[in-house]
A and B are shown apart, each in its own frame.
Chain A
């Protein structure tokens, strides 16, 4: 699952960006600076008891993934994200020499984090900013006085085949699965089909036309990122990413319920793989999970998970958001969600948005 960085720049193996102290503090102060508090930010069970991330506000914001442009006027660098790593001395046992190593820089090159100053004095934060292409996934670690350790703030991690644990981040519009196993993603796609309008006659016709539209755009280099367009229009990918990052506290809901749904469907039809079952099977299950009070889905193990309706409501919010949010979050593939609305209603979404996605020449994204 490692993605090797292709060297775009001849000199450095990874392009660095001059560190802006105020840029770092704009995020670090709000989310990291605090006295010791009870762990209010666990959101239920996102973090185990005692994990300091439960005391941080929105630990998922780190490393900071942001837009990048080389100069105020040149538009050639929109393929890159600016990734900013931040650590607190207090998490590392005091001020230490810290560097980051990662798959974006050959795994062994150490990129030092600089102390972030305020009025010339150390703040206890250290940071560095570097450029990583969009649509990528990377593992990294910090080297703290020469010793490797995972990021004490970013909760995203991956265990490699050799058992070592690394921290993980992904850049905009990444389509590599992180949270879901492929079978979970396929099953979820069938559920999202029940929610989104694209399985209706109109919706299917729209998707067919939209693929042609995208082919023409890609040929004309207007949509430089490739999109895999399916009936979920990227909503499954969006959910995969939001569960890794912003809404980790919902991972267990998906893990448990997709497993239950898979088993339930197999019990209802033992001849076909679940992701190939008919729409009617899914429609029936969906209606059962949504209708009536909890407790009316035949065969559902309520002892394991008591509120299947809550799960479908969650899937619905995620699916809708995935279909209609900015494509940089991994959904709304090829702006299909927006284009669907624009094809039916007066909605000139392109007028306000940045090129090449939109056609606004003032706003740069």
Chain B
């Protein structure tokens, strides 16, 4: 047993854990971070000046591996993963398809590394809207909601136990301390302080989305003004960032490298929680970071978690005592946090009674309704071949717009909750990603369309039945001509209807490399979700059409994620819910401070605390909430 003097034990170093660890460390508390993944450094923190992250497509999404897990329907199938995603055969997530077969999936993992998902994400950092925090109240009494014949949406919508105004100061803190660039003007959320750094020059391809956003936004009013686009807030610094001692290159435009989404940043300009929050305090004597250590179980006595059981880097089981008065913060990303709590309750009935008295743990698991539209940019009048841009000089997104979150829009379409729309720029910018994500952008189907060997040309001079070309020789040249640097996509990110049937359970037979049951994901889309996605995908298509990306709407692919073959698995790395917070102990797992109701010292601060998923990417809100919980912890430590 390891005894210790830690005031706080934080499990997970990503968006949910790092803000707490940093705040408590700066306040002089004794803090331990236990992180399952490795510590990978940017150049400026590395002894030999070389980063552990590389601008290398094959390094980032690696060679072919094969699923070898017993009993899953996709056993033997190929899969590809990042060097900081888990080995699927060692640690699968399993999901249940609507044919009742079970499949291993990489979905539901962010990244396992110091910094968690913030090392790999595209870094879109949007605030939630005021309405996102109060969807139950907002929808109370509405009779105009579409595609909800049984009234489930109104029944299951929940208000957060905090308001936008409660969280707003913490949003400002994230923008300041983490390091975000973008513009606040034209966002439909009030900013009390604007801490955003200057965005970089947009990629020229984005103009074809921007114009469409302007035209669509003009139809909607917010406080009497048309809604206009704004520069997408991205957690990439564009100016020297004093809180984290990071400096930007002299040639600022070189920051747009397109090695962003699914790449750790060798220069540390992407504001992962490591470079922005933890590295600046890592040398302090009161902060310990034990990486390559995975927590496997929590034990308690009465209302206190008293032991944290973990595997050290050798695989040896160790037990950490939690001293009196200390707190334990679980922030491993929603599926794994829920799983840790479920494994702990499996081992101890009394733990189960305390953490899960209402059978809510694991339930109301959430992702986002997402999807969008995509086309090769042909201009107006349409030219062929399509227009070409150097998409390799880009970050993840240039323009965003909030009109799908306005009340006008929600009333017009009978939607329960809103969304943000933004364009993508770095997707398919490089040759390997162009090929391996052609036809599909999710991580379970990488290379699949390319392997099938054919692609559809949009050459208008060819009859429709002669547009299928092979992916070799001259066909490959034509493939590049039509697809390399030509494609523009616009995405939406929307609230998903919470359902108790969407849940995480422990699998009854499949175990991980430590012989612990793995997570089973059971989820589906509500009819209102599908309807909402249809509406928003159509908006994205209109944006591209009106932006002159393609005057022909039939030439624009669009859709919501529910249409994908593996729709039930699709999570887009936004892993939320399963341990929602609330004011009513009979209706939530955590209280307003993200503390488990019947534990004195157990907190959960990754995305699992969310009762609704927000109409935007979640990291900004997870980090802001973590800072909020940190303030609460400082009041008790």
B243 near A: Cβ within 8 Å? no
Within 8 A of A (CB), among B440-474: 447, 450-453, 470-474
A41 near B: Cβ within 8 Å? yes
Q: Residue A346 contacts which of B266, B292, B314, B485 (CB distance < 8 angstroms)? A: B485
Q: Residue B451 contacts which of A33, A72, A124, A317 (CB distance < 8 angstroms)? A: A317
Name the distance in Å between B365's Cβ and chain A's nearest Cβ.
26
Q: Residue B55 contacts which of A33, A41, A363 (CB distance < 8 angstroms)? A: A363
B155 near A: Cβ within 8 Å? no
| Complex CA distance for A321 and B432, rounded to whole angstroms | 7
B145 near A: Cβ within 8 Å? no
Residues of B contacting A34 with CB < 8 Å? 90, 315, 513-514
Name which of B65, B267, B313, B485 has the most chain A CB atoms within 10 A of its CB: B313
Name the distance in Å between B371's Cβ and chain A's nearest Cβ.
27
B353 near A: Cβ within 8 Å? no
Q: Residue B484 contacts which of A40, A71, A247, A345 (CB distance < 8 angstroms)? A: A345
Name which of B46, B68, B314, B471 has the most chain A CB atoms within 10 A of its CB: B314
Q: Residue B76 contacts which of A44, A119, A328 (CB distance < 8 angstroms)? A: A44
| Complex CA distance for A363 and B46, rounded to whole angstroms | 13
| Complex CA distance for A125 and B292, rounded to whole angstroms | 14
Whether A71 touches B48, Cβ cut-off 8 Å, given contacts A22-B291, A341-B431, A347-B485, is yes
Q: Evaluate contact between B58 and A325: CB separation under 8 angstroms.
A: yes
Q: Evaluate contact between B388 and A345: CB separation under 8 angstroms.
A: yes
> Could you mark each residue 360-392 of chain B with 1 if its beta carbon is under 8 Å from any beta carbon of chain A, else 0?
000000000000000000000000000011101
Binds A, one of B35-43, B331-339, B416-424, B620-628: B35-43
Name which of B50, B258, B393, B450 has the most chain A CB atoms within 10 A of its CB: B50
Name the distance in Å between B173's Cβ and chain A's nearest Cβ.
29
Within 8 A of A (CB), among B7-64: 37-40, 43, 46-52, 54-59, 62-64
| Complex CA distance for A319 and B423, rounded to whole angstroms | 32
Residues of A contacting B390 with CB < 8 Å? 345-348
Sort chain A's interface into a size bin. Answer: 35 or more
Name the distance in Å between A292's Cβ and chain B's nearest Cβ.
12
Q: Evaluate contact between A199 and B313: CB separation under 8 angstroms.
A: no
Interface residues of chain B, those whose CB is within 8 Å of chain A, are 37-40, 43, 46-52, 54-59, 62-66, 68-70, 76, 86-87, 89-90, 112, 249, 254, 257-259, 266-267, 290-292, 311-316, 388-390, 392-393, 431-432, 435, 447, 450-453, 470-474, 476-477, 480-481, 484-485, 513-515
For the complex of A and B, the 7 pairs showing the least CB-CB separation, nearest first, are: A72-B49, A26-B38, A40-B68, A123-B314, A33-B315, A246-B63, A40-B89
- Given A44-B76, A72-B48, 19 more A-B residue pairs with CB atoms under 8 Å apart are A26-B40, A31-B87, A33-B315, A34-B513, A38-B70, A40-B89, A57-B513, A67-B50, A71-B48, A118-B312, A122-B314, A197-B473, A247-B64, A316-B453, A324-B431, A325-B58, A329-B58, A344-B481, A351-B254
27 A-B pairs whose Cβ atoms sit less than 8 Å apart in the complex: A22-B38, A22-B291, A25-B291, A26-B52, A30-B37, A30-B112, A34-B90, A41-B87, A43-B66, A57-B87, A57-B89, A70-B48, A118-B314, A119-B290, A194-B472, A247-B63, A316-B472, A320-B432, A320-B450, A347-B390, A347-B392, A348-B393, A351-B257, A352-B55, A354-B55, A363-B55, A364-B266
